[in-house]
Structure 1
Amino acid sequence: MKSRLPAWLVAGVLAALYLGLAVFALKRGNSLLIGVVLVLLSMIPFLLRFERRERQARELVLLAVLAAIASVSRIPFAALLPGFTPVTFVVIVSGVVFGAEAGWMVGAVSALVSNLFLGQGPWTPWQMFAWGLAGYTAGLLAHRRPFWRRRMPLAAFGVCWGFLYGWIMNLTLVLDFWTRDHSWSAIAALYAAGLPFDGVHAGANLFFLGVFGPAWIALLERYRRKYGALQRTLWEEGGDASWVHRNG
């Protein structure tokens, strides 16, 4: 039986590699290109892990449907009130029910597909990364601590990601500021200027998760249990083998 490297060790090595690449590139290259390359590199472990697992056709269709719902729902809201979007809600609920890997894929695909209508650009990989990470962390927390499935903790988690999403997206400009003049004041002003928009996003997450979150989770759980779609992995459950016997 082959032994696996601890997840924390792999994550530490990858983090050190990405940080080293960032430092090297910031001294020599274009900041915008640097950001895009680093974000794309950071997606590789998630995509490889997802691809290594065997998937049934109905599981892939389900992920495509969830990503389509998130993508389509973003378009009218983007025209009326940018930032007030149900995308994060759909991504988080997907991660809660179907696991961290599924949450990552729904988030990343939603950003890519919705930007086919709203406009692609160098910000697309950052959106894929941010929304993918929202779904991924939702899956990890909900499956290791069922407490996060409740209405209020889930809504609070969505509020946090309303701000985290904006802070991640601000890095696209922070990299440029840092390469030009190393101005901490300009970076602080940038983040302060983005707080109203982040607040709108957090408010949207609070509304959608607080009002519709439990109902969506119950509906998707019924589908998962009935068809056995996208079963969670032992890694997502923290290595608890008893989960398989209880739910497998």
Structure 2
Amino acid sequence: MSEKQITGQPLSRRNWLSAVLILVVIPATILLGVFVLEDRKYYFISLLIVFYTMIPFALVFEKRKPQARELIVIAVLAAIAVAGRSAFFMVPQFKPVVAIVIIAGVSFGAEAGFLVGATAGFVSNFFFGQGPWTPWQMFCFGLIGFLAGILFKKGLLKRTKLSLCLFGGLSTFFVYGGIINIGSVMMFSSHFSWEVLLASYVSGFWFDMVHAIATVMFLFILARPMLEKLDRIKTKYGLIEPVSAKK
């Protein structure tokens, strides 16, 4: 897969603002729901995360208004992630969501990656069941998409199958699995302890492994054709291209 976007670029002020919202404000909001609202207002917390997500995504367009076709592409990617998660409902943890989110982050940028991931987590749980786990899943899916976009922009993540599959497997296992297990302890245990957290990691090891393997497999199959098609769409319509990439 050829490099269609200039990589090795410095992070912009928009990227740093996005990082603060995603890495500080959203986790603080989730913890507010856990400790202050006692996990009973998860719809409210989920909607707040969606709102926070829209802020950095809106900043992508800087001084111009987003075109309808740009929003449609992002919505379609989120819908594909939701449909993919629903299609494999019978196989626990074997889902293509993280793969789609990584592709979105690489193709359209970190902010779009987070938006696709958070939206997919929220919408798909209308089929799988909403609950206090929804904000955690939204954050984990979105965070991986954000990291994919940032690492690709810095040139640390390549558009090769090896690079994408390696990042997908590791991020699914350590980022998604690592954070979700912490969330599970907070959701289902009356008090936090390292022993309970360790038990959560041990019991969730094979689920996290299956999830990581699924991400690698779906990236291996989908990354090249999806990125090539998205590149053609971006070239034809000039969608969400960083200013420096156009020079």
TM above 0.5: yes
- Which amino acid letter does the alignment assign opposite residue 128 of structure 1? M
Q: Structure 1 stretch 162-171 or stretch 193-202: which is displaced more?
A: 162-171
- Which amino acid letter does the alignment assign opposite residue 218 of structure 2? F
Tell me how large the CA RMSD over aligned residues is: 3.3
CA-CA distance at 1:177 after TM superposition: 6.7
Corresponding position of 1:194: 204
Match of 1:219 among 212, 215, 229: 229
Larger CA Rg, structure 1 vs 2: 1
Alpha-carbon distance in 1 for matches of 2:147, 2:163: 14
Verify the 8 A CA contact 1:99 1:136 in the aligned structure 2. Answer: yes
Secondary structure of 2:94's match? coil
- Which amino acid letter does the alignment assign opposite residue 71 of structure 1? V
Corresponding position of 2:54: 47
Between Structure 1 and Structure 2, how many residues are aligned? 230
Corresponding position of 2:133: 123
Corresponding position of 2:6: none
- Which amino acid letter does the alignment assign opposite residue 231 of structure 2? E
Secondary structure of 1:85's match? coil
Verify the 8 A CA contact 2:233 2:239 in the aligned structure 1. Answer: yes
- Give the % identical residues: 38
Q: Structure 1 stretch 153-162 or stretch 31-40: which is displaced more?
A: 31-40
Match of 1:98 among 100, 108, 125: 108
- Which amino acid letter does the alignment assign opposite residue 196 of structure 1? W
Decide whether aligned partners of structure 1 residues 196 and 8 sit closer, same or farther in structure 2, where only a CA change above 3 A counts: same
Verify the 8 A CA contact 2:169 2:212 in the aligned structure 1. Answer: yes
Decide whether aligned partners of structure 1 residues 59 and 21 sit closer, same or farther in structure 2, where only a CA change above 3 A counts: closer
By relative contact order (CA 8 Å, sep 6+), the higher-ranking structure is 2
Alpha-carbon distance in 2 for matches of 1:91, 1:22: 24
Per-residue CA distance 1:118-173 (angstroms, 9 max, x = gap): 22222112111111111111111112216422111110111012212122222222
Alpha-carbon distance in 1 for matches of 2:19, 2:114: 18
- Which amino acid letter does the alignment assign opposite residue 244 of structure 1? K
Secondary structure of 2:66's match? coil
Corresponding position of 2:148: 138
Verify the 8 A CA contact 1:170 1:190 in the aligned structure 2. Answer: yes
Corresponding position of 1:149: 159
CA-CA distance at 1:51 after TM superposition: 2.7
Corresponding position of 1:165: 176
Following superposition, which runs of at least 4 residues in structure 1 exceed 4 angstroms of deviation? Answer: 16-23, 33-45
Decide whether aligned partners of structure 1 residues 144 and 83 sit closer, same or farther in structure 2, where only a CA change above 3 A counts: same
Per-residue CA distance 1:201-230 (angstroms, 9 max, x = gap): 000011111232122212211111111112
Q: Whose helix proportion is higher, 1 or 2?
A: 1
Report the TM-score when normalising by structure 2.
Answer: 0.79
Verify the 8 A CA contact 1:223 1:229 in the aligned structure 2. Answer: yes
Verify the 8 A CA contact 1:35 1:175 in the aligned structure 2. Answer: no
Decide whether aligned partners of structure 1 residues 136 and 221 sit closer, same or farther in structure 2, where only a CA change above 3 A counts: same
Alpha-carbon distance in 1 for matches of 2:15, 2:231: 30
Aligned ranges 1:46-85 → 2 under 5 Å:
46-52=53-59, 53=61, 54-79=65-90, 81-85=91-95
